Chains A and B, each alone.
Chain A
Amino acid sequence: MNTILQVERLTHTYSVGTPFQRSAVEDISFAVERGEFLGIIGHTGSGKSTLIQHLNGLLRPTAGRVLLEGKDIWAEPKKIRNVRFQVGLVFQYPEYQLFEETVYKDIAFGPKNQGKTGDALDHAVREAARLVGLRDEHLDKSPFELSGGQKRRVALAGVLAMEPKVLVLDEPTAGLDPAGRENLMANIRDFHRNQGTTILLVSHSMDEIARNANRILVLKSARILMSGTPAEVFARGEELLAAGLDVPQITRVAMALRDRGLPVDPAVYTVEGLEAQLLALKRGGGPC
């Protein structure tokens, strides 16, 4: 096993010593393997946002540690910026962070801060733009002339251009229409497959997580409620529902079918998966 990122007993408490004191993250531990696609799911207020801001050192743990390639990211606080280049964090609605006159300049902001110049800078910008599906003619435009979906791609490219080892995406498809959501996710999947970058995807949408992640972390009230492969997690559908979380619609159909006495696997979470099981049942085979 090759661990790239490790979170050890992480706790973050806001407003220490005031009546408003509360822990947004409490005693959380998990490890992320190199090349993994990890889904993180939980309600608003479950601690997701606080957690991910620790991964690139935007927040400092109240207790516990975050290790990047085995090294505590706060070992040298002065060099925390280097961590931010290695763990790229794309916030929710990232298009609101665009500020430059042209798309090119905006994407170049990160790599420039990194110290890249000349050909290396140009290459980083163009490569990042290509990865998110922006064409050359977009680069000289003002980011504010683009459509909402394109702006978001520019913002994503702005982080990819730093060539991070780990990419953390907070609700990358929020507010997009179905076609926009699917396009962007397909892009991210391709990127993950081709570049081998480790990806952490935070999402409200169980369906999105189910379709993309190979492992899922479920957060509830500042702690980890469960973790495992999508099949393992969705097999505990009842528990997820009881915790006020969604399960994919297909998992709910499977649960309803089991209630009606059909022997389908409760861990199914894709349309294709359930279809295959039902066809097998119909054609006289047992449950698969």
Chain B
Amino acid sequence: MLKDITLGQYFPGNTVAHRLDPRTKILLVVLYITALFCAGSFAAYGLMAAVLAVCVRVSRVGLRALVKGLKPVLFIIVFTGLLNLLFTPGEGILWAWGPFHVTETGLRNAAFMVLRIMLLIMGTFLMTYTTSPISLTDGLERLLSGLKRFHVPVHELTMIMSIALRFIPTLIEETDKIMSAQKARGADFESGNLMEKARALVPILVPLFISAFRRADELATAMECRCYHGGEGRTKLHVLQYQRRDYAALTLGVLILAGVIALRACGL
């Protein structure tokens, strides 16, 4: 069922991970991703995995929910893994068959690649699980507010993002409903070749688009009725303010990145 998609889902809670300023969390994720791309040894990946494990523990988000988040990208993980495993040239061929060959470097690369993607996704998901979409976009708006000087419509972009997030569950539910309605008229989404399957989507996509446009139109009117007139002069219910814990967390993040870079410099 479509309802099982956890993308962008937020698990309310009151742990430190939840209470951190969203800007801090976005910056931490940037540091974390940078560190992942700098990591080049099992020691470094071990460190990153440990960091993630601690964060997961602190956030009290179940590991199961995080692993579930990997499901939609499982194909990509396996695919990249196999690609690296079977096609990396190098010394020490362990196994070969036709164009495929497994080398020591390949094995290493594949393991790193899979680890990197998995850690990357789980880390990012941990942020979305512990940060409500609205404070996430809020944080993003504040972080990027400097760009307004260069006429980047930061407020509009973040507004688009938060509305998109708000309507994901509604549109998923709608898709489910339309699918059921067309199935009730004998639509078949499972059998047939790729072309037939693509054509079977028309009865879902057309009503879905029409409904999305209608919703957009009505929402725009409703927003105007509530005095929306762009970002100018807007105030906020929740004003973001860095706390001591934010500075602490950011310092920790920078230290870990420095550690990973040091490990790389030491050739580890």
Q: Which of A58, A81, A109 contacts B180 (CB 8 A)?
A: A58
| B186 adjacent to A162 (CB under 8 Å) | yes
Binds B, one of A96-104, A229-237, A239-247, A279-287: A96-104
Could you tell me how many residues of chain A have their Cβ less than 8 Å away from some Cβ of chain B? 23
| B186 adjacent to A114 (CB under 8 Å) | yes
Contacts of A110 in B (CB 8 A): 185-186
What is the CA–CA distance of A99 and B206 in the complex, to the nearest angstrom?
6
Contacts of A158 in B (CB 8 A): 185
Closest chain A CB from B64 CB (angstroms): 10
A96 and B180 in contact (CB under 8 A), knowing A110-B186, A159-B185? no
As a 0/1 sequence over residues 151 to 189 of chain B, the CB contacts with chain A under 8 angstroms (1 = contact) are 000000000000000000000001001101111111110
Closest chain B CB from A17 CB (angstroms): 11
Contacts of A213 in B (CB 8 A): none
Q: Does A85 contact B (CB under 8 A)?
A: yes
Q: For residue B187, which residue of chain A has the nearest CB?
A: A113
Q: Does A132 contact B (CB under 8 A)?
A: no
Q: Does A144 contact B (CB under 8 A)?
A: yes
Closest chain A CB from B120 CB (angstroms): 26
What is the CA–CA distance of A90 and B184 in the complex, to the nearest angstrom?
8
Contacts of A109 in B (CB 8 A): 182, 185-187, 203
What is the CA–CA distance of A53 and B181 in the complex, to the nearest angstrom?
10
Q: Does B15 contact A (CB under 8 A)?
A: no
Per the 8 Å Cβ criterion, residues 76-109 of A in contact with B are: 81, 84-85, 88-91, 94, 96-99, 109
A99 and B184 in contact (CB under 8 A), knowing A91-B177, A144-B210? no
Closest chain B CB from A176 CB (angstroms): 18
Contacts of A251 in B (CB 8 A): none
A97 and B183 in contact (CB under 8 A), knowing A109-B203, A113-B188? no
A81 and B185 in contact (CB under 8 A), knowing A91-B177, A144-B210? no
Q: Which of B184, B207, B211 contacts A58 (CB 8 A)?
A: B184
Q: Count CB-based A-B contacts (< 8 Å).
A: 56
Q: Does A56 contact B (CB under 8 A)?
A: yes
| A99 adjacent to B203 (CB under 8 Å) | yes
| A56 adjacent to B178 (CB under 8 Å) | no
What is the CA–CA distance of A44 and B202 in the complex, to the nearest angstrom?
30
Q: For residue B182, which residue of chain A has the nearest CB?
A: A97
Contacts of A88 in B (CB 8 A): 184
| B181 adjacent to A97 (CB under 8 Å) | yes
Per the 8 Å Cβ criterion, residues 181-197 of A in contact with B are: none
Contacts of B188 in A (CB 8 A): 81, 113
Contacts of A53 in B (CB 8 A): 180
Contacts of B178 in A (CB 8 A): 96-97
Closest chain B CB from A271 CB (angstroms): 35
What is the CA–CA distance of A110 and B184 in the complex, to the nearest angstrom?
8
What is the CA–CA distance of A96 and B187 in the complex, to the nearest angstrom?
16
Question: Most chain-A CB neighbours within 10 Å: which of B178, B188, B203?
Answer: B203
A91 and B206 in contact (CB under 8 A), knowing A96-B211, A97-B178? no
Contacts of A97 in B (CB 8 A): 178, 181-182, 185, 203, 207
| A81 adjacent to B181 (CB under 8 Å) | no
Contacts of A56 in B (CB 8 A): 184
What is the CA–CA distance of A109 and B177 in the complex, to the nearest angstrom?
17
Contacts of B184 in A (CB 8 A): 56, 58, 84, 88-91, 159
What is the CA–CA distance of A90 and B223 in the complex, to the nearest angstrom?
33
A162 and B207 in contact (CB under 8 A), knowing A58-B180, A97-B178? no
Closest chain A CB from B215 CB (angstroms): 11
A99 and B180 in contact (CB under 8 A), knowing A81-B186, A162-B186? no
Contacts of A91 in B (CB 8 A): 177, 180-181, 184
17 new A-B contacts at CB < 8 Å, known A58-B184, A109-B185: A81-B186, A81-B188, A84-B183, A84-B184, A88-B184, A89-B184, A91-B181, A91-B184, A94-B181, A96-B211, A97-B178, A97-B182, A99-B206, A109-B186, A114-B186, A144-B210, A158-B185
- 22 A-B pairs with CB atoms under 8 Å apart are A56-B184, A58-B183, A58-B184, A81-B186, A81-B188, A84-B183, A88-B184, A91-B177, A91-B184, A96-B177, A96-B210, A97-B181, A99-B202, A99-B203, A99-B206, A109-B182, A109-B185, A113-B186, A113-B187, A113-B188, A114-B186, A144-B210
Interface residues of chain A, those whose CB is within 8 Å of chain B, are 53, 56, 58, 81, 84-85, 88-91, 94, 96-99, 109-110, 113-114, 144, 158-159, 162
Closest 3 CB pairs between A and B?
A: A113-B186, A99-B206, A110-B185
